[in-house]
Amino acid sequence: MIQSRRRLIAGFGMMLLSALPGAAQAQAQTQTQAELPLTVSLGTATHGGGFPVYGDAVVRTVAQTDPALKIEARNTRGSLENIPLLEQGKLDFGLVQGEAAHEAWIGTGRPPARLAIVAAMYSQPGMFVVRADSPARSIQDLRGKRVAFGARSSGLVLLARYVLDGLGMDMTRDFQAVFLDRAGEGPGLLAKGEVDALWGAGSSWPGFVAVMNAPQGGRFIVPDARERERILARHAFLKALTLPAGSFRGQDQPLNSVGSWSFILAHPDRNEEQAYRLARALHRGDRLIGEILPQARETTALNTWNAAPRPELLHPGTLRFLREQGIAK
């Protein structure tokens, strides 16, 4: 009975739309589509990492800006699992770290992926954190030490590989590399002295928050100016990024490092309306998502345009929204 009533209402609505001329019909149809209930999936990562926290901020923001668009966040093993799940149509959207996206697009060890950017999430300057009582002050001081680099399928591990390769180093040759089942295990290992350093990235990364807020505190280690030049010369797709002072407890100075932007990706041939709805809901709520998660203040329409390596990598639904905003031509 309810379904019949819905079909009747929908049919009546289409009759009204067909009676409207030209531009008015197109505008009314867009508004009607925007009101349709829609449920989509969003792949994040393992518990304790930054992606599930960001995914929660997306869910809460979209619930306010487009209540008819329901986001179901799913924990996955991270970027390297989200990419094939998106390609196979098992996820509608997925969070993917910049280096993982770069390798997928250029086809490193696989055919190039046809995945498109729905939104830029945030920039991720990579760095190590050690306990405050650690004698280590530089990346060279960490040679031969036990370092937790993260979950194997995490994009953060890829970032570490590129950063270290730029310095002529390898995580398994030059360090006692520790890989985690879940990203959230790292701070506990560091606190107990089972590892000497923890690798991560970004201004709200939960692992950094846990270490810096712990009783013993922590200290960050980043590439120095000469090391940054070497890394960027070898891997030009990386960017020089700065972590602002005060991003974490006890971090009084800005930290200069290298890294990339993470993205919300989707398959470009599917779900243009879904991508448009999500992009619009996120960017209409850019102030709200920044209040939920400070790192997500970087999730803006302009950053999505600027962070895309090439305009053709933008999803058609996102490009449509950016054109409406006068950002894209």
Q: Of all residues in the chain, what percent carry a pLDDT higher than 90?
A: 81
Does pLDDT of 120 surpass 70? yes
Considering the chain, tell me which residue range(s) the CATH 3.40.190.10 domain(s) occupy: 36-123+261-324, 124-260
Say what the pLDDT of residue 21 is.
52
> Do residues 27 and 20 lie in contact, with contact meaning Cβ atoms separated by under 8 Å?
no
Question: Domain spanning 36-123+261-324 has what CATH number?
Answer: 3.40.190.10
Instruction: Mark out the alpha helices in the chain (DSSP H runs).
Output: 2-18, 22-35, 50-65, 79-87, 98-106, 155-166, 171-174, 186-191, 206-213, 225-234, 272-284, 286-292, 301-307, 316-324
| pTM score | 0.80
Of residues 4 and 251, which shows the higher confidence score?
251
Helix (H, G, I), strand (E, B) or coil at 243: strand
Most confident of the following: 149-153, 181-185, 222-226: 222-226
CA distance 84 to 267: 10
Say what the pLDDT of residue 228 is.
98
93-116 residue pLDDT tens: 999 999 999 999 999 999 999 999
**pLDDT band with cut points at 50, 70 and 90 for residue 9:** very low
Does pLDDT of 12 surpass 80? no
Say what the pLDDT of residue 204 is.
82
Q: What is the mean pLDDT of residues 209-216?
A: 95
**pLDDT band with cut points at 50, 70 and 90 for residue 13:** very low
DSSP state of 129: E
- The yes/no answer on whether domain 124-260 falls in CATH 3.40.190.10 is yes
278-327 residue pLDDT tens: 999 999 988 999 999 999 999 999 999 999 999 999 999 999 999 999 99
Does pLDDT of 132 surpass 80? yes
Q: What is the mean pLDDT of residues 184-211?
A: 94
Q: What is the mean pLDDT of residues 36-54?
A: 93
Give the H or E element holding residue 125.
Answer: strand 116-131
Helix (H, G, I), strand (E, B) or coil at 146: strand
Say what the pLDDT of residue 133 is.
96
Helices 225-234 & 155-166 angle (0-180, nearest 10): 110
